[in-house]
Structure 1
Amino acid sequence: MSTVAGVLSRLESKRLTTIARTAVSELRSNRLTLVGALIVAVLGFVAIVGPLIVPYEPAAQDLSNRLQGPSLAHPLGTDQLGRDVATRLVYGARVSLGIAILVTALRVLIGTTVGMVAGYAGGWVDELFMRLVDVQLAFPGLVLALVVAGILGPSLRNVMIALAVVGWTTYARVVRGSVLTIKERKYVDVARLVGTPRLRLFRRHLLPGVVNPVIVIATLNLGTVVLATAGLSFIGLGAQPPTPEWGTMLAGGRQYVRSAWWIVNAPGVAIMLTVLGFNLLGDGLRDALDPKQQARVEEV
């Protein structure tokens, strides 16, 4: 019996490898996905390397150079306090992308855990978890995030908590649905019959089957988290001055839209490109990891 389980497990691993290769081929042939991947790669490079090479400090003020337009010394001009906008934009990339990654990781951890436990256990456990998900989904996500951030107080840490609290339910529902399908497959039944420990069963048989949809949702979520973080910071619930966060930069420069357009245009374009990059990449991953594509691989 254990030999049968091993053979079925190896066949499943081979199937997943074939699907991965097909997905990579699909991604390479999709130009929009490559554009999204390039944007994300550039943003990641700027966030990691940029702060090490910029010539100014993000909070350094020079009132004699306030509201100066783009120049060789300041490629994106200076703001109302004489701070270099390009420097603050680069540091803001690290802040915004760092928050997006941490919040998305928390959402994935909570949602995947809840979804796997609910889908595998079934019964009253499944019913309890799914009703909790339904209750949370009854409230608009952004409104709930505003309430949580408002109660906890304005700070980046509290914004992260607020966004993580309201965003895990999508993962829970998707993962639960995948687990309900996977646990009925023959290799899972055989693994249970031979006494495979539950943790090993989750890690070796259930988790690989839910990776694809989780990757797609997480990629799309990264852009929305960047946008939500900037929005909460813009209204004063997120990053506080002088933190170089894109939403805070927008809020600080909104009264200079006509006289110093570069102050708000720079972070605005950065937010737009970030969301666009993650959306293009997420759409490409969704197409490449499409269950219909997987079905075609299984037929082959």
Structure 2
Amino acid sequence: MTGTSRRPTDSRWRRWYAALMATRLTQLGAGIVVGLVALATFGPVLSPYDPTAQALLHRLEAPSLAHPLGTDQLGRDVFTRLLYGARLSLGIALVVTTVRLVLGTIVGLVAGYVGGWVDEALMRLVDTLLAFPGIVLALVIAGILGPSLTNVMVALAVVGWASYARLVRSSVLSVREREFVTASRLLGRSRAHVLGRHLVPNVVAPVVVLATLDVGSVILGTAGLSFLGLGAQPPTPEWGTMLAAGRDYLRTAWWLVNAPGVLIMLTVFGFNLLGDGLRDALSPTQSAQIEQL
């Protein structure tokens, strides 16, 4: 009996997964993301090199069997540093995106459901943040706080939650007057119950899509601020820092810039493709079709 009760849910999940993986581009994006996560998780364990250990006798060696992506100006293995940098960059992107999502969702839910002067005050704050280019505002905040990865994370989290708040608020405004929400109010349900039971499930899909697409922008922002010297500091193996260190060797050691640059591009590309696939799979039309199957 227990197995029978699980079948409709399991079948629905399988149909949703099939809808998500219906296109080659989404499959490519998912493959890139899974591959990067696997490299970040297991790659450093398999690498025989220390990402910060210097070997000046082997500095600026071209790619070879011993060093697949060559060595840098201090003799460190570039491939190993990229693997450790993947762990660092993906971890930062996950933390920053989670903070953005949670903070923006809470603000959007409160603004959309409570309304009145609360909504007006919160939305004016959101408008103020959205009036500035995100990377410029993050640059100012990181510059004031000082160069460190923690301060970069704070800066990127502060400038990014406003988009989530606006998206969640618009979703709440479209749902709060529907019949099932009105019925719940008439039954005397608390605001917390209405928010948790009826409103939050209806804003999950667009927020998840935005968060997936946002991971790429966080990685770009982290690398950009580190490239400018406001993020990770040497010898931390971070992609933006590696780009900054390799820019002086563009003509003599092309791999120092190309390797982290291509990896950043692939990471952003993979998350963007996966986000587009999630958007299509979680669209109202697609969801309705899945429910009817």
Asked if Structure 1 and Structure 2 have the same fold, meaning a TM-score greater than 0.5 normalized by the shorter chain, the answer is yes
Superposed counterparts of 1:186-265, under 5 Å: 186-265=179-258
**Which residue does the alignment assign to 2:34?**
41
For the residues of structure 2 that align with 1:255 and 1:140, how far apart are their CA atoms?
29
Q: Show structure 1 runs of 5+ residues with no match.
A: 1-15
Number of the residue aligned with 2:149 = 156
Indicate how the Cα distance of structure 1 residues 20 and 186 shifts in structure 2: closer, same or farther if over 3 A, else same. farther
The Cα shift of 1:200 comes to 2.5
Kindly report which structure 2 residues correspond to 1:70-85, keeping only aligned pairs within 5 A, or say none. 70-85=63-78
Whether the 8 Å CA contact 1:118–1:129 is kept in 2: the answer is yes
Counterparts of 2:289 and 2:270, CA distance in 1: 28
SS in 2 for 1:221: helix
SS of aligned partner of 1:168 = helix
Q: Between Structure 1 and Structure 2, how many residues are aligned? A: 286
State the identity %: 65
| Unaligned stretches of 5+ residues in structure 2 | 1-8
**Hey, what does 2:104 align to over in structure 1?**
111
Cα separation, partners in 2 of 1:85 and 1:298, compared to 1, 3 Å: closer
Matched with 1:176 is 169
SS at match of 1:78: coil
Pair 123,296 (structure 1): closer, same or farther in 2 beyond 3 Å: farther
- Whose relative contact order is higher, 1 or 2, with alpha carbons under 8 Å and at least 6 apart? 1
Partner of residue 12, structure 1: none
Q: Which residue of 2 aligns with 1:289?
A: 282
SS of 2:21's equivalent in the other structure is helix
CA shift, 1:141, in A, is 0.9
| Equivalent of residue 67 in structure 1, options 60, 63, 66 | 60
Of residues 243, 268, 275 in structure 1, which corresponds to 2:268?
A: 275
Moved more, 286-295 or 183-192: 286-295
TM-score after normalising by structure 1: 0.91
Q: Distance in 1 between matches of 2:166 and 2:13?
A: 23
1:87 is aligned to 2:87: no
Cα deviation, residue 114, structure 1: 0.2
Matching residue of 2:6: none
Q: What letter is aligned with 1:257? A: L
- Equivalent position to 2:22, from 25, 29, 33: 29
Aligned partners of 1:99, 1:297: CA distance in 2, in Å? 34
Once residues 68 and 175 of structure 1 are traced to their aligned partners in structure 2, the CA distance between those partners, rounded to angstroms, is 51
Give the C-alpha shift of residue 296 in structure 1: 5.5
Letter in structure 1 aligned against 2:176: K
Q: Distance in 1 between matches of 2:198 and 2:155?
A: 33
Query: What CA distance in whole angstroms lies between the structure 1 residues aligned with 2:172 and 2:146?
Result: 38
2:160 is aligned to 167
Shift of 1:298: 7.7
**What code does the residue aligned with 2:214 have?**
N
Deviation at 1:44, TM superposition (A): 0.5
For 2:248 and 2:44, the matched residues in 1 are separated by: 27
Following TM superposition, by how much is the alpha carbon of 1:17 offset from its aligned partner in structure 2, in angstroms? 9.4
Which residue type is aligned with residue 222 of structure 2?
T
Note if contact 2:21-2:277 (Cα within 8 Å) is conserved in structure 1: no
Question: Which residue of structure 2 aligns with residue 136 of structure 1?
Answer: 129
Equivalent position amino acid for 1:105 in 2: T
1:185 aligns with 2:154: no
Secondary structure of the 1:80 match is: coil
Cα-to-partner distance string for 1:274-300 (whole Å, 9 max, x where unaligned): 000001001111111223434656889
Contact 1:22 1:288 in 2 (8 A): no
Structure 1: how far apart are the matches of 2:162 and 2:47? 40
